[in-house]
Chain A
Amino acid sequence: MSAQATGPETLGSLSDEAQITDPNSKQAKEISGKSPMQIAFARLRRDKIAIVCAVVVLFFVLVAIFADLIAKAFGVDLETVTACEVLECNFANPGVGYPKTGPPFNDFDPSHPFGLAPRTGADNLAHWIYGCRTSLLIAGAATLFASVFGIIVGLVAGFAGGVVDKVLSFVIDFFLTIPFLLAALTIAPIIIDRFGTSDSYETVQIASLIGILSLFGWMTVARLIRGEVLSLREREFIHAARVLGMPTKRILFRELLPNLTAPIVISISLMLPAFVAAEAGLAFLGIGVTGSASWGQTIANAVPYWSNYSLYLWEPLIGVVALVLALNLLGDAVRDAFDPKTRR
């Protein structure tokens, strides 16, 4: 977003001069005593797109959290059904291979609002709801691990400097050079080979996916934080804290970290949709979650049915697109809200 070329933007939104020309100047004056966080939230609240996106994201989060209850309310579940009880198995009938009730060849079936999957006869709604849970669980956990790890590495590297910084920067660069998709493709068979025979295969699969995503997701956060820390550590308040004899730990977490809220929130809000998309992408390639419901997996299964039963493909597709789009726009809005240079 372009800012005015003349002076004020360098002074940030707290500058009185800027707010004279700003339509929001009166409100800005009123909130002048608030913390940057509060200012950001106030800005977010006024952003219509952000509110809509937040509602969409909240909807998906609620679906994920209350998946069991919602599935029960609709009377659907993930249980395997005997395919021929619900699918047309007689070759002489039209629609052989497709559900006996509901789309694509029959009227709406209230007991399966999203229809049934061809081949297996699984309920699409149940898979959609639990797919949402899988998606958010994996993306959420991966974001958490990647950001926490990235923040710690970035803080340490930036603050310690010297050899520690050199080593950590090398590790960051090293991980950036590993092609993510190639690594994921290589690791999947190893996991199958190692844990395929164990009882907890599904859990291992989810854990390994979270592991892979976080392993290749923390570097950008670490770099960002390191850069911020590098510029902050030479500032007066840090020098003051040092002179006062504050322990390093306290400087890191009490002085530096609060000043990094903005970049952290921004990177998290952009990492989340990237992981949702990556999870679906990996599942589509057949190297993600296969044991439990997953949008990407459903999309992979539904592709052959594109021309005959497009609803089957649209459902998970809309889920992924809506969630990723909402998260991305929300992330943008968050970044704008936290960025003091932004004018709106």
Chain B
Amino acid sequence: MRRSKAAGALATSAALVTLAACGGGGGNEDETGSDGNDGFQNAAETIAKDESRQGPAPEVEGASAGGTITVYLPDDPGPEDLDPTNGWSVTGNSIQQALTHRSLTQYARDNETGEMVLVPDLATDLGSPNEDFTEWTFTIREDATWEDGKPITAEEVAWGIERSLDSEAFPSGPGTEYSKHYFLDADKYNGPYTDKGKDYEGITFDEAARTVTIKMSMPFPDMDYWGAFMAMGPAPLGKVSDPPEYGRSPLSTGPYKVESFRPSEELVLVKNDAWVAESDPARHQYADKWVFKFAADPTQTDELMLSGNTESQTALSASITAENYANFNQELGDRLVQQSAQCTSFWAPDYEKTTPEIRKALAYAYPYESVWQASGEVPGVTRVPANSIMPPGMAGKSDYQVDGEQITYQPEKAKELLAEAGEEGFEIHMAYNTGSPTTEAAQKQIEKGLTDSGFTVKSYPVPIETSLYTIWTDPDNKINKKLNLRGVNWCSDWPSGSTMIPALLRTGATYNTAFFSEPEIDEKMDEIGTLPLEEQPDAWGALDEEIATEYYPIIPTAFRNDLFAFGEKIGNPTGDGALGAPNYKDLYVAQ
């Protein structure tokens, strides 16, 4: 799952916790106090599964109904449309999956341990695979309804899932990665809109038994996790769900429905009276109304959240700025929630245009902490140095170090490596966003780091309104053709290497911005899916290490954490570890 802000890809970096503080200023330290500085938090080891959990969801302690919750999403434009099949961003999915759109399975937060659990949603359990995971059958529960009160049928679920196979209609949807890759004959069938009228054998349903069966072209043991995506949920039959119109006001199945939606501005959700609490094992319907303010001004949001006024008491902010981190830490205490996300930021040098030596030199030339500081992150809290493709907390993550120890900013070493490769003054072509102080400042730091390391830099400014991803992922873009250094921020879609490595490094994958292509590695990725379940995590870890040591195609620059600020009256201020977002499902307004 990509992060909405591509700018972050270049603007992020890992940072070693400096020892700069040792020098002195003890008095200062006592005054400000440094309580609550927990440093970086690793994501949960694995996400447990509880296939027997049934609705209604257990009440949150002390929860009360009523009130309006306002969510500020500073600098985050949010989803462009609300079509569940098209949603593949942390912001959009975290909101819709928690509040409006149900799918086969879902995540619930265990409020005692704080860990996420995979539980059933529209399916009565987590699905039953056949022996080699090439066929999954889900039984659809009977009491779930649409917002108009009609029951959700197995056919509608099957239709919703089939939509995810259309990468023409939903070019940026997650189906392009998972459905297209794993589902039976997905390479021949282009989806219900592109291949109109063509029959597709891969997804079948039985209305009497209320089952939906999905056949795979290769073993796919993670189908239950994939089922937690809203793309694996129902869509109304017929013309109603035609894209792109459906994306403007999709029919809701969750506890809330869409009242109004203005892209990049505001999303207002109100109670969906047709939602049946007994049918849903994890969602609640505490607040009366949700207001999401996209692309909010970060400074104004900070001021509001710090002011503690009536407006801020029932508000929450999905990010805070680094300049106010110390203030937030002091003022909000527990209500400043640090949420780990299984995310890694990368620098992606073009695989064709660079050599492993150059890429290694690049890794030493990236001024990790400084870039990060310049882009408004808190070193050691929201970013830490990264060593591998798989983020911490992911089962099987290997602690290998490509160069024996953690790579840090060492311009001298980068220079040596370049000289050894005979590539002094290697010209780097990179794009960056102008029009935002943070991206410009970060770019300056990067240019300095690269220049000090013996590279020459040619940078291409892109107005901030254009996401860098649109340039990086478009092979015909005239700027993209010149670039030999791109980037990507990637968060796992579920805690398995299968959502990181293939999405970033398989030949032709959308977000393979390095254009890495090794048939041997592609084969190995497919092979891992055929291994016994318990061996897979380690196999992914081993593959991660193999790719890095042999090819070093992408440079991991940082693992990420997010900071959420909750207003005084928001009950149960917690984060969702599966998505790296506020835990919308369990929030309420304290009365």
Query: Nearest chain B CB to A318's CB is how many angstroms away?
Result: 20
Judged by a CB distance under 8 angstroms, whether A94 is at the interface is yes
List the B side residues contacting A89 at CB < 8 Å. Answer: 15, 18, 20, 369-370, 373, 379
Provide the bound-state CA to CA distance between A105 and B445, in Å: 24
From A81, which residue of chain B is reached at the shortest CB distance?
A: B448
List the B side residues contacting A307 at CB < 8 Å. Answer: 303
20 contacts across the A-B interface (CB closer than 8 A): A80-B445, A82-B448, A83-B367, A83-B369, A83-B371, A84-B20, A90-B379, A91-B37, A91-B378, A94-B25, A94-B33, A97-B373, A119-B374, A119-B437, A120-B444, A189-B465, A197-B479, A287-B435, A290-B434, A307-B303
Q: Please tell me the number of chain B residues within 8 Å of chain A, measured between CB atoms.
A: 60
Contact A96 B379 (CB under 8 A): yes
From B298, which residue of chain A is reached at the shortest CB distance?
A: A304
Judged by a CB distance under 8 angstroms, whether A237 is at the interface is no
Indicate whether A92 sits within 8 Å of B21 (C-beta atoms), given known contacts A83-B369, A84-B369. yes
Contact B370 A83 (CB under 8 A): yes
Instruction: Point out the residue from B303, B381, B409, B437 that lies within 8 Å of A91, measured CB to CB.
Output: B381
List the B side residues contacting A121 at CB < 8 Å. Answer: 370
Indicate whether A120 sits within 8 Å of B325 (C-beta atoms), given known contacts A88-B20, A304-B299. no
> Which chain A residues in 291-311 approach chain B with CB under 8 Å?
300-301, 303-309
9 smallest CB-CB distances across A and B, nearest first, come from A94-B32, A83-B370, A304-B299, A91-B380, A93-B21, A80-B448, A84-B369, A286-B435, A301-B437
> Which chain B residues in 322-338 approach chain A with CB under 8 Å?
322-327
Instruction: Bits for B370-404, please: 1 = Cβ < 8 Å to A, else 0.
Output: 11011110111100000000000000000000000
Indicate whether A87 sits within 8 Å of B373 (C-beta atoms), given known contacts A192-B461, A192-B463. yes
List the A side residues contacting B31 at CB < 8 Å. Answer: 94
Indicate whether A90 sits within 8 Å of B21 (C-beta atoms), given known contacts A95-B326, A96-B379, A308-B324. yes
Contact B445 A92 (CB under 8 A): no
Of A87, A120, A188, A307, chain B has the most CB atoms within 10 Å of the CB of: A120
Judged by a CB distance under 8 angstroms, whether A175 is at the interface is no
Provide the bound-state CA to CA distance between A119 and B20, in Å: 16
Seen from chain A, the residues whose Cβ lies within 8 Å of a Cβ on chain B are: 80-85, 87-98, 100, 105-106, 118-121, 188-189, 192, 196-197, 201, 286-287, 290, 300-301, 303-309
List the A side residues contacting B437 at CB < 8 Å. Answer: 119, 300-301
Instruction: Point out the residue from A84, A106, A304 that lies within 8 Å of B323, measured CB to CB.
Output: A304
Query: Nearest chain B CB to A236's CB is how many angstroms away?
Result: 58
Provide the bound-state CA to CA distance between A133 and B206, in Å: 76
Provide the bound-state CA to CA distance between A306 and B302, in Å: 12
Judged by a CB distance under 8 angstroms, whether B447 is at the interface is yes
Contact A305 B323 (CB under 8 A): yes
Contact B17 A196 (CB under 8 A): no
Contact A119 B441 (CB under 8 A): yes
List the A side residues contacting B200 at CB < 8 Å. Answer: none
List the B side residues contacting A300 at CB < 8 Å. Answer: 437
Query: Nearest chain B CB to A281's CB is how many angstroms away?
Result: 15
Provide the bound-state CA to CA distance between A120 and B375, in Å: 9
Query: Nearest chain A CB to B328's CB is how many angstroms away?
Result: 12
Of A97, A119, A192, chain B has the most CB atoms within 10 Å of the CB of: A119
Query: Nearest chain A CB to B322's CB is how many angstroms away?
Result: 5
Query: Nearest chain A CB to B19's CB is how many angstroms away?
Result: 8
Contact B370 A303 (CB under 8 A): no
From B436, which residue of chain A is reached at the shortest CB distance?
A: A286
Contact B321 A94 (CB under 8 A): no
Contact A120 B441 (CB under 8 A): yes
Q: Is the interface of A mostly helix, strand, loop or mixed?
A: loop
List the A side residues contacting B34 at CB < 8 Å. Answer: 92-94
From A93, which residue of chain B is reached at the shortest CB distance?
A: B21
Contact B28 A97 (CB under 8 A): no
Contact B39 A92 (CB under 8 A): yes
Of B325, B326, B367, chain A has the most CB atoms within 10 Å of the CB of: B326
Instruction: Point out the residue from B21, B374, B381 that lies within 8 Å of A83, measured CB to CB.
Output: B374
Judged by a CB distance under 8 angstroms, whether B482 is at the interface is yes
List the A side residues contacting B444 at CB < 8 Å. Answer: 80, 120
Contact A120 B479 (CB under 8 A): no
Provide the bound-state CA to CA distance between A83 and B379, in Å: 12
List the A side residues contacting B32 at CB < 8 Å. Answer: 94-95
> Which chain B residues in 404-450 approach chain A with CB under 8 Å?
409, 434-438, 440-441, 444-445, 447-449
Of A87, A97, A196, A290, chain B has the most CB atoms within 10 Å of the CB of: A97
Contact A94 B28 (CB under 8 A): yes
Judged by a CB distance under 8 angstroms, whether B520 is at the interface is no
Contact A192 B380 (CB under 8 A): no
Judged by a CB distance under 8 angstroms, whether B551 is at the interface is no
Contact A90 B327 (CB under 8 A): no
Contact B325 A290 (CB under 8 A): no
From A189, which residue of chain B is reached at the shortest CB distance?
A: B463
- Kindly list 17 other residue pairs between chains A and B, CB separation below 8 angstroms, not including A82-B449, A82-B452, A197-B460: A81-B448, A84-B15, A84-B367, A89-B15, A90-B379, A91-B378, A91-B380, A92-B17, A93-B21, A93-B29, A95-B326, A97-B373, A105-B28, A106-B25, A192-B461, A290-B434, A309-B323
Contact A91 B434 (CB under 8 A): no
List the B side residues contacting A82 at CB < 8 Å. Answer: 367, 370, 409, 445, 448-449, 452
Contact A120 B374 (CB under 8 A): yes
Query: Nearest chain B CB to A149's CB is how many angstroms away?
Result: 30
Judged by a CB distance under 8 angstroms, whether B462 is at the interface is yes
List the B side residues contacting A189 at CB < 8 Å. Answer: 463, 465
Provide the bound-state CA to CA distance between A97 and B463, in Å: 26
From B321, which residue of chain A is reached at the shortest CB distance?
A: A304
Provide the bound-state CA to CA distance between A280 and B19, in Å: 39
Indicate whether A119 sits within 8 Å of B303 (C-beta atoms), given known contacts A89-B369, A91-B37, A93-B29. no
Provide the bound-state CA to CA distance between A151 and B34, in Å: 64
List the A side residues contacting B374 at CB < 8 Å. Answer: 83, 119-120
From B303, which residue of chain A is reached at the shortest CB distance?
A: A307
